[in-house]
Structure 1
Amino acid sequence: MTYRNLSACVADLERHKHLVRIDAEVDANLEIAAIQRRAYRAGAPAMLFTRVKGCRFPMLANLFGTMARTKFIFRDTLRAVEGIFRLKLDPFDAFRHPLRYTGVPRALWSMLPKSVSDGPVLRHRCAISDLPRLISWPMDGGGYVTLPQVYTESPDAPGPMQSNIGMYRVQLDGPDYEKDREVGLHYQIHRGIGYHHAQALRRGEPLKVNIFVGGPPAMTPAAVMPLPEGLAEILFAGAMAGFRIPMVRQSHRTGGLPILAEADFCISGTIAPYQKPEGPFGDHLGYYSLAHDFPVLRVDAVHHRPDAIWPFTTVGRPPQEDTVFGDFIHQLTAALVPQVFAGVREIHAVDAAGVHPLLLAIGSERYVPYAGERQPQELITCGMALLGSTQTSLSKYVLIMAHEDAPSMSTHDFPGFFTHMLERTDFTRDLHFVTRTTIDTLDYTGISLNQGSKLVWAAAGPRKRQLADTLPGDLPLDARSEDGGLAAAGGSFGDPRLFGRGIVVLRGPKHTARRDEHDPAMHALAARLAHAQGLDGLPLFVVVDDPAFTAANWENFLWVVFTRSDPATDMYGAGEFTHCKHWGCTGPLVIDARLKSFHAPALETDPDVERRVDALAAPGGPLHGYL
C-alpha cells in the first residue's frame, strides 16, 4: 500500500495493530519525549497522542521505531527501490533476472515530482506559537522541530531537479527570536542547503525556504538520505512513495517556492541577513550542542491541512529512533559502496559512537600484490576517499582493514574488528592524521566549532603481536615523588581494567587543560609506559573518567572513546616521535577519552518527568503494556 499523506499511513498502521491512540493528556515539555524514548527501547507500536497539553494538534511518536514497521510502511515500493540500486550497480542484471525488476519502470516514473495547482496543506493557516512546543531535554533552549523536511531550490537553477531536502534542526521559539516571526535554522557543515545559501548570497538575493512537517512518509527517509550533490531528494522520495510527489506550483500563495501538497504543515519564509543564537539542544552524540549563531528564517506563513498530525522523534545518545533510519538506509545502499568508493568493500558508520565520530571500513590491498609482505597502501587511498566525499567525509576516526587478511570479517563484529586491527597495526607507520580540518558541527572535541582533526588508521599484513587477555600486576600508572607521594606532573591514574583483548581502560585525573592543548599528565603516562616491561600484548590504553562504565560493554566503550576524543589532540604514545611530519609511537597507543573542560555536558533526564512516565506506564495507566 502507498500512503499519499500521513493520515492514510496512521489509519493503515492502526488497522494492522502497528499504532495505538493515547487519549490521556500528555505534556510536550519533556514528558512526551521521555515516553517516545521508552517506546523506542521497548519496541512499542507507533503512538498517536490525541490530547497534547496546550496544543490543538495531535502528535505522532515512534513511527519509524522498528525496522519491521519501517519496512511495512514501504512494503509495496521497497523491492522496486532496491531494484533501482541494483541496476545502478549492474545494469545487465535486468536481462538475466527480469522478474526482479517488474516494479522499476513505475518507480522511475514516480521519481518525477508532479506540479499541481492546490493541495490540502493550504486549507488553513496558523501561527508558529500554535505548533507543538516539543522540549526533549531539560537544558533545551526552546521548542524545536525534530522531523522537518527543509526544502530549498538552487538560485542558479530553480526547479525541483536542483532542489535539496534536508533534516535540519528548526528552533521555534526562544528569548532571542521574535515571536511568530522568526525561527532558528540550524544547518550544519556539509549540508546541501549551504550550497543554495551561498548561491543566493553571491547573487545578492534572499533564499526562500519551505519547511514541511508530515506528508507522505517517504519524505522523511528522503530528507536524511546521503545522496550525492546534485541528485534531488525529492526524486528518491517519489520512488519510495510509489507515486509522483505532488508539489503546489509557485504562486503568491506559496511564497514563491513550491509546497508539498500533502504535507501536514508548511512553514514558509526567507533566510534573514543576520544570525542569532540557536540552542542549546540535546543531540544524537549524547550531549548538548551549545548555543551558537546560526541563520534565522523570517516567517511569512504557516499552513496546515485540516487533519494535521505533528510527527516527532527525540535525539540523544544512541540507539534512538534515528538508528533505524541509519540501518534502513545502510541496507538500501550497502551494495553501492564499492561503486562509490573504489576499493572499499564495506563501511559501517557506528551508531553507538554517534555515527560520524567512528567509521569502520574494509577495503582491498592490491597495489603491490607481488610484495613479500602486505602493508597499507591502497587502504590509505581508500581511507582518504572516504574522507573526501558524501557523508563519510564527516567521519573523525576511519579504521580500515584489508579484506585479503580476513575475508569473513564484518565491520559489525566489534570485538573481531578491533582485535584484527590491534594485532596488525604498526604504530610507527599506520596512523595518518589530517589536522585543522572541518569536522561535524555537533562534535565538541575539536579545537573550535566545525574544526578539529581526523585519523585514517589502516592495518594490513600478518599479525605483529599476540594480544594479552590478562593485565600485568605492576603497571606504572602514577609518577612518584621521592617521599612516595604522587608527583604533580604525573597526575593520578588508576583502576585499570582489561576491555577485550589488548585494550586497557583506566581512570585518569580530572581534565583541566585548555582547548587545543596537550595534557602534560598524559605525556607523563605515555613516557612511563614506554619504559614498562610486558606490554607487547597491550597495544591500546584508554584513559577515561569512569572505567567501570566504559568497560561494561562495547556500546559504552565506543561511545566514550570516540565521542570524547580528538585524534590529533588526544592521542599519545609510548615512545612517540615525529619524523618529517609523520607521527607514530613504538609502544602502546594512549587515547585520552575523558570529558574535557570545554566539552558540552552529557544528556541527563529529569527525575520528576521520569516518575510521571512511570505512573503512566504502571498497571491501570494509559501506557501500561507498551513501555
Structure 2
Amino acid sequence: MGYKNTRECLEALEARGELVRIDKSVDANVEIGAIQRRVFRAGGPALLFNNVKGCRFPMAANIFGTRDRMRFLFRDTVDTVERLMKLKLSPMEAFKRPWAYLGAPRAAYHTLPRRVSDGPILRNRTTVSNLPQLVSWPMDGGGYVTLPQVYTEDPDNPGFAGSNMGMYRVQLSGNDYVQDKEVGLHYQIHRGIGHHHAKAIARGEPLKVNVFVGGPPAMTLAAVMPLPEGLAEIFFAGAMGGHRIPMVRHPGGLPMPAQADFCICGTVEGVEKSEGPFGDHLGYYSLAHDFPVLKVDAVYHRDDAVWPFTTVGRPPQEDTMFGEFIHELTSELVPSVFSGVHEVHAVDAAGVHPLLLAVGSERYVPYAGERQPQELLTNAMALLGNTQTSLSKYVFIAAREDMEEGQSCHDIPGFFHHMLTRADLTRDLHFITRTTIDTLDYSGISLNQGSKLVFAAAGSVKRALSTEVPSTLKLPRGYRDPQVFAPGILVLKGPKHRRKRDQQDPALERLAESFRSVKGIEGFPMIVLADDAGFTAGNWDNFLWVTFTRSDPATDMYGVGGFTHAKHWGADKAVVIDARLKTYHAPPLEPDPEVERAVDALGAKGGPLHGII
C-alpha cells in the first residue's frame, strides 16, 4: 500500500500513461519552471527531465498536477484517512457502523514511524552546489528547493511526537550564502518550526534541521497539511502513505526518511542573511529580507535520486491541487475545530490567505425580530485566532440561517451577491489594525504587519444590487472606464498610486465623497479602483486576485458616506477599495518571452510536448 519512494511513484504514473520523459537538454534556470507551469495549465502529465544542464540528477515535476492524479497517488489510503477524520468528528460512528472503520486500526498503526539502522538515503554524499538549482522566475535570487520537507524536533522533548515538518522555502545559492556551507531558511509567521526555534534560542543551543526532498509522496503532502499544533506531520504521512515511514538517523543529527531522495542536514545558529527575491504563490515576488541561515553539515542522496519540484505563481498552480485535496480530507472537520462555523473557503484565486469566505451560525438571539451579526463575529474571531485561517486578511462571513438550500461559500458569485445584499455597511465592517499578516503579503504597513477586516452579513435583504452604471456618474479627472463587474460591484480605472507606505490617499477620500451625490450609487456597495479596469473586470479570477492581493483593509478602504463613531468605522452607501499597485508593493510575476518561445518549441510537432501544450 502506498508508494515507498519517488521512483515507485513515477513508474506507476508512467504505466498509467501520466508521465512524459523529456530527454532534450533543459535549463533549471527559468526554462524548466516555465515548462512545468505550461503543462500544469494544460492539465498535462507528470514530467521527468533526464537531461538537466549542468546537473547529473534528473528532475521531476507536475507529479501532483491534477485532482485525479492526487486521488490516484493516495487511492489505497484516502478513504481510510477520511474515515479517521470523521472518527475525530464523531467517535461514536465506529460503534454505530463498525464495518465502515475496519481499516482504521491498521491506519493508526501506520502512523508510527519505524526506526531502521540503514537505508538508501545514506548511500551517497554530495554538496549543495551539485544539487539542482531551480530558478523559477527571472528575478529569483538563486536556486531554490520548492518541495522541501523541513524537519525539526522540540528541543525540550526530542522525538517523533514533538516533531514538526513543514514546507518552508530553502534557498540553495545566490545572495551572500557561503557556497556549500550555508543555505537560506525562509519560514513565515505562524509556522511550527518557529516554536522549536524559540525553544532552541531559550536554551542557548543551535536548532538541528533536516531538509528532505523526495521519498514517499505522502511525506510531501504531510509537509503542507495544516495539522493542529502538537500533532506531528510524520504521523499523518504514515497514515496517508499506508505504511510506517522508515527513519534512519544521521550520526549526531536528526532522523531522515530511509527512502528519501535527498537530505540536507544542518543547524540554525543565530545567523540571518538576506533571502530572496522569490516568485511566490500570490503572483508577485516576495522581496529580499533577512531570514535564518542553515549551516550545512552534510548532504545525502540515494543511488537513483530524482529531484521533485514545482513552481508557484499567480493561482491556480500545482499547489492549488494540494489545497483542494486537503479541503476534501478536512471539510467535515471544520465544525469540530471552529464551533459554529459550517464551511470555510480560503480562496485560491486570491492567493489563499488574502480572502477567506465562511458560513456560520447566528443563534445568539433567536427570538429577535431581525437577525444581526453576533455569533458570526465570535466565529470570525475564532477563525482569525486558530490554525492557518488566522493568516486571513479579509473574512467574509454569512449566517447559515439566511442562506438558501444548497447555497455555499464555494459558489463565489452567489456568495458575494448574498453578502452585498444583506450587509449593513454602517454596522458590519470590523477592522483589526496593525496586526500580524501573511509574510508574503506586501499590501500592509510593513513586513508581517497590516490589518484585517471581518465583513459580516446576517438578516434580511438591505438593498437591491444594480447592474448598470448610474447615468449621473461623473468621475473626477484621472478616473475613467467604469465597468459593472457583477451585480453590486463597480470597477473603475484610477491614476497611478503615488503615496508612501502606511498612508491613506486624500484623492480617494475626495473620490468617495464625490459619489455621495450620485443617484443610485447605493446599488453598488462595493467599488474597486484598479490600474486596469478591463483586466480586473474580465473574470472572477482577475477580480479576486487584484482586489484582495493589492489592498490592505484599513489603509485602502474608503467610504461613500464614510464615518467614524466611537472608534467604529462604517459607510452610509458604499465602500471603495483601492486595489491599485502601490509604490511599495512587490512587482507582479512576468514570464520571460524568450523562455516562453523555447517552451513553444517543445510543444511544436516533433517536440516531446506536442499535443500536450
TM-score (norm 2): 0.99
**Residue 498 in structure 1 maps to residue 495 in structure 2:** no
Aligned to 2:471: 473
> How far did 1:545 drift?
0.3
Asked if 2 retains the 8 angstrom alpha-carbon contact of 1:255 and 1:300, the reply is no
Aligned to 2:273: 276
1:342 positional shift: 0.5
Asked if residue 315 in structure 1 is aligned to residue 318 in structure 2, the reply is: no
Pairing 1:12-27 to 2, within 5 Å after superposition:
12-27=12-27
**Given the alignment, which residue of 582, 594, 604 partners 1:618?**
604
Q: Distance in 1 between matches of 2:13 and 2:105?
A: 28
- TM-fit CA distance, 1:535: 1.5
Alpha-carbon distance in 2 for matches of 1:557, 1:435: 24
Q: Does 1:609 align with 2:606?
A: no
- C-alpha contact (below 8 Å) 2:361/2:375 kept by paired residues: yes
Q: Tell me the CA shift for residue 175 of structure 1.
A: 3.1
Q: Give 2:165's aligned residue.
A: 165
- Look up the match of 2:117: 117
Please report how far the alpha carbon of residue 2 of structure 1 lies from its aligned counterpart in structure 2 after TM superposition: 1.4
Paired residues of 1:2 and 1:76 also in contact (CA < 8 A): yes
1:102 alignment partner in structure 2: 102
What is the Cα deviation at residue 538 of structure 1? 1.3
SS in 1 for 2:466: coil
Match of 1:594 in 2: 580
Runs (4+) of structure 1 exceeding 6 A deviation are none
Per the TM alignment, residue 533 of structure 1 is displaced from its structure 2 partner at its CA by: 1.8
Fraction of identical pairs, as percent: 69
Confirm or deny: 8 A CA contact 2:470 2:519 kept in the other structure.
no
Q: Structure 2 CA distance, aligned partners of 1:572 and 1:541?
A: 10
The yes-or-no answer on 1:362 pairing with 2:359 is yes
- Secondary structure at the counterpart of residue 467 of structure 1: coil
1:449-464 paired onto structure 2 within 5 Å: 449-464=447-462
Equivalent position SS for 1:272? strand
- Change in 2 beyond 3 A, CA 1:527/1:495: same
Structure 1 counterpart of 2:514: 528
Equivalent position to 1:334, from 331, 336, 339: 331
Can you list the C-alpha shifts for 1:401-449, whole angstroms capped at 9, x where unaligned?
0111014221111111111111011111000000000000000000000
Instruction: For 1:289, give the aligned amino acid.
Output: S
Among candidates 583, 590, 603, match of residue 569 of structure 2: 583
* Whole-Å separation in 1 of the counterparts to 2:252 and 2:566: 57
- d(CA) in 2 for partners of 1:218, 1:201: 31
How far the C-alpha of 1:95 sits from its partner, in A, is 2.3
Equivalenced residue count is: 612
* Superposition deviation, residue 494 in structure 1: 1.0
Confirm or deny that 1:91 pairs with 2:86.
Answer: no
- SS at 2:443 equivalent: coil
Q: Partners in 2 of 1:398 and 1:477 — Cα distance?
A: 30
Kept in 2, the 8 Å contact 1:79–1:103? The answer is no
Distance 1:569 1:593 in 2: 11
What pairs with 1:47-66 in structure 2 (closer than 5 Å)?
47-66=47-66
The reply on whether 1:425 has 2:429 as its aligned counterpart is no
Deviation at 1:13, TM superposition (A): 1.4
* Matched residue type, 1:438: T
1:379–1:402: 8 Å Cα contact kept in structure 2?
yes
Distance in 1 (alpha carbons) for counterparts of 2:520 and 2:88: 52
Partner of 1:380: 377
3-state SS, counterpart of residue 196 of structure 1? helix
Distance 2:75 2:359 in 1: 31
Is contact 2:494–2:531 with CA below 8 Å preserved after alignment?
yes
Paired position in structure 2 for 1:288: 285
User: Is 1:403 the equivalent of 2:403?
Assistant: no
Q: Relative to 1, partners in 2 of residues 1:477 and 1:254: Cα closer, same or farther, differing over 3 Å?
A: farther
Question: 1:259 maps to which residue?
Answer: 256
User: Contact 2:472/2:519 (CA < 8 Å) preserved in 1?
Assistant: no
Higher deviation after alignment, 240-249 or 290-299: 240-249
Within a 5 Å distance, the mapping from 1:71-90 to structure 2 comes to 71-90=71-90
Letter in 2 for 1:610: E
Render the CA deviation track for 1:91-119: whole Å, top value 9, x for unaligned.
11122222221211110000011111111
Shift of 1:254: 3.5
How far apart, CA to CA, are the structure 2 residues paired with 1:175 and 1:379? 47
Kept in 2, the 8 Å contact 1:248–1:254? The answer is no
Q: CA deviation at 1:381?
A: 0.5
Contact kept, 8 Å, 1:255 with 1:269, in 2: the verdict is no
What's 2:236 paired with? 236
Could you list the per-position Cα deviations for residues 158-183 of structure 1 after superposition, in whole angstroms to 9, with x for gaps in the alignment?
Answer: 00100000001100001311000000
Structure 2 CA distance for aligned equivalents of residues 497 and 169 of structure 1: 39
Aligned residue in 1 for 2:547:
561
Q: What are the Cα deviations for residues 331-362 of structure 1, in whole angstroms up to 9, with x where unaligned?
A: 00000000000100000000000000000000
Q: 1:348 & 1:412 partners in 2: Cα distance?
A: 6
CA distance in 2, matches of 1:626, 1:574: 50
SS at match of 2:359: strand
Distance 1:10 1:614 in 2: 25
Structure 1: 5+ residue runs without aligned partners? Answer: 479-485, 487-491
Quote the offset at 1:255 in angstroms: 3.6
Paired residue for 1:190?
190
Is 1:344 aligned with 2:341? yes
Cα drift, residue 476 of structure 1: 3.2
- Distance (Å, rounded) in 2 between the aligned partners of 1:540 and 1:151: 44
CA separation in 1, counterparts of 2:380 and 2:179? 47
Structure 2, unmatched stretches of 5+, are: none
1:134 maps to 2:134: yes
CA distance in 1, matches of 2:467, 2:100: 49
RMSD: 0.8
Give deviations 1:191-228, integer Å, cap 9, x for gaps.
00000000000000100000000000000110000011
